[in-house]
Amino acid sequence: MRLPCLLCLLTQLMPAQPTAAQNPAQNPAQSPAQSPAQSRADTPNPFGHTLEELALAIEKALNAWELDEAQLLMVQVEALNLHGLALLHYLQGRMAFQQGLYAQAVDAFALAGQEDKPNSFLRLANAAKHFLKTAQPFESEHFVLFVPQGKQSALAAYILYTLEAQYEAMSLELAFAPPKKLRVEWASSAPEWAALSGLPLEKALSPHTAGFCGFGKMVVLSPSAVQGGFAWQNSLAHAYVHCATAQKTRNQTPPWLQKALAAYLENHWKSPHPPALPQADWAALQQYLGASNTLVLEKKPGPTANTSPTAQLALAEGFLLAEYLKAQLGPQAFSQLLSILSQQGNAEHAIAQLSRMPWPQWKQRFRKAVLARRFPISPQPQAEKKTSPQRLHALRLAKLYASHQHHEAAVYHYAKAQALPGGELPHVAQSHAQSLLALSRFEEAERVLAHAVDERAPATLWLTLGKLRLHQSQWAKAQQAFERTLAQHPFLPEVHLGLYAAASAQNNATLAKRAQQAAATLLETSTETVDDMARAFSTPTPP
């Protein structure tokens, strides 16, 4: 995000400096004492710094998330007793904004004479002040979360759980933990996310940029704002990596390295082993690197950088670059790299120092390693079967019977449809399995789902599988299936009813409480009613 630099603000907020004709160096008759604005900015204070030097130091400290340092510097500024100076109000506004005191920030920026326009701190502070009017605070050991009241608050405990898990994982991986509680603001819509972060609205449309990190806080977009949802817990963890790397290096980690580490580490909150990069992403990246000597991450972002295919390439390349760093430099590669970077401020030099190899040479070795990767030849996909009229007729009958609770007839027609040409369709398998569950024919339901459930299966299919596992008293497997649904569609009440039932059966009191409260919020009912509903949800229906 591009905000006005402080040097520009010094020019805008303070009275105009003397012109050449008025400059004391060219006109000896004009003494420094006759230029009030200049004398107030340049006269040393009791601590030995000018106001301009202090202002730049405060801005630098705030950008580096060093709030304590900025506060100490503000003491020196306030010792100058420059009441009414626009620059002083601006600095007070910046301090209040980064402390989350948005009403104070709005007042200070207004006194500083800031215009309410895009990318101004006054616009950001006003948006955040408005947001807090309807936001509900939740707190954990290392985070303070603000979530809009209503159904969004159902996820508060899950959000904090995910962030705390990532905090613990990153404390080990990066050998660093933020010294203060991190502020997290949960946006329920894309316009709200854009207003709170100051970023363009189109960036909220990509799940990979649904988390913003800046101004000492995180702003995260709810999955309910994107059709079909997205892996919101990984987005939370991804954004936290950006925050942790920025803080450890005093905001000297370049964007390409932040993206690389975040892409590689976003899954660490639940597993220390990153998932394998999809073969399709490998193939697309190899095609790009085969035709270019420039890494995708080194390209200057364009206007659609976060929604174009290049964004997916950049994430894939970042993942592989981080993986290569660790393979070449050892298990402590990330923490060592960031430690050097915090001192030197140059990522290329830090990598060269660790690898004992010039950056251009290291980069070419990485590029060659990506290009040299070979995959087994994948079987050719079978030609899509043409759906016959008989199959369509059978599916219509099955759906009709199921809607009237005639599950025996529905199962008959679903089985008939599955035997006819048309290929495997996840939604058909799901409906077929649901009718079998209604008849307590668990083994048959499991066979139907076995052909449809894989890594690409829709979240609702995992929901049906979770219910099957509950009916089979396979509590741990049921929990896993419901968690897969939660990762994509967390606002389905059945997900939390299932998790509550599975957690209660395993004596997992923490998860049970989290799921119970979420279900009560989404269903707008009491926790006692949730107990009864979860019991009914996990009990097989008599055939």
Confidence of residue 457 (pLDDT cuts 50, 70, 90): low
* pLDDT at site 402: 73
Residues 99 and 105: their CA atoms lie apart, in Å, by 9
Interaxial angle between packed helices 459-471 and 527-538, expressed in degrees from 0 to 180 and rounded to the nearest 10: 80
* Residue for token pair 């591009």: 2
Confidence of residue 148 (pLDDT cuts 50, 70, 90): very high
* pLDDT at site 80: 80
Digit-coded pLDDT (tens) for 63-96: 888 999 999 999 888 888 777 788 989 999 999 9
Answer yes or no: are the C-beta atoms of 497 and 534 closer than 8 Å.
yes
Answer yes or no: are the C-beta atoms of 38 and 32 closer than 8 Å.
yes
* pLDDT at site 166: 97
What single string gives the DSSP state of each residue in 351-417? HHHHHTS-HHHHHHHHHHHHHH---PPPPPPPPPPPPPHHHHHHHHHHHHHHHTT-HHHHHHHHHHH
* pLDDT at site 323: 93
Interaxial angle between packed helices 86-98 and 51-63, expressed in degrees from 0 to 180 and rounded to the nearest 10: 20
- Lowest pLDDT segment from 9-18, 277-286, 523-532: 9-18
HEC states along 288-313?
Answer: HHHHCCCCHHHCCCCCCCCCCHHHHH
* Residue for token pair 């679903």: 414
* pLDDT at site 380: 46
Beta bridge partners of residue 183, listed in sequence order? 144, 217
Tokens of 391: 């199959």
Residue 168's Cα: distance from chain center in Å?
17
Answer yes or no: are the C-beta atoms of 168 and 175 closer than 8 Å.
no
Answer yes or no: are the C-beta atoms of 233 and 269 closer than 8 Å.
yes
pLDDT at 120 over 70: yes
* Ramachandran region, residue 145 (left: φ > 0; alpha: ψ -120 to 50; beta: rest): beta
pTM metric for this prediction: 0.81
* Residue, of 135 and 209, whose pLDDT is higher: 135
Q: Residue 435's closest CA among 420, 418, 423, 455?
A: 418
Residues 446 and 478: their CA atoms lie apart, in Å, by 13
Averaged over 317-336, what is the pLDDT?
A: 92
* pLDDT at site 4: 38
Averaged over 176-192, what is the pLDDT?
A: 93
User: Taking all residues of the chain, what is their mean pLDDT, rounded to a whole number?
Assistant: 81
pLDDT at 401 over 80: no
* pLDDT at site 176: 94
Answer yes or no: are the C-beta atoms of 106 and 133 closer than 8 Å.
no
- Strands (E) across 82-227 are located at 135-139, 143-148, 182-187, 211-214, 217-221
Tokens of 522: 């989404």
Confidence of residue 15 (pLDDT cuts 50, 70, 90): very low
Going by the DSSP 8-state scheme, the letter that residue 277 receives in this structure is: P
Answer yes or no: are the C-beta atoms of 185 and 128 closer than 8 Å.
yes
Q: Residue 264's closest CA among 342, 321, 185?
A: 321
pLDDT at 22 over 80: no
* pLDDT at site 143: 98
Averaged over 216-224, what is the pLDDT?
A: 93
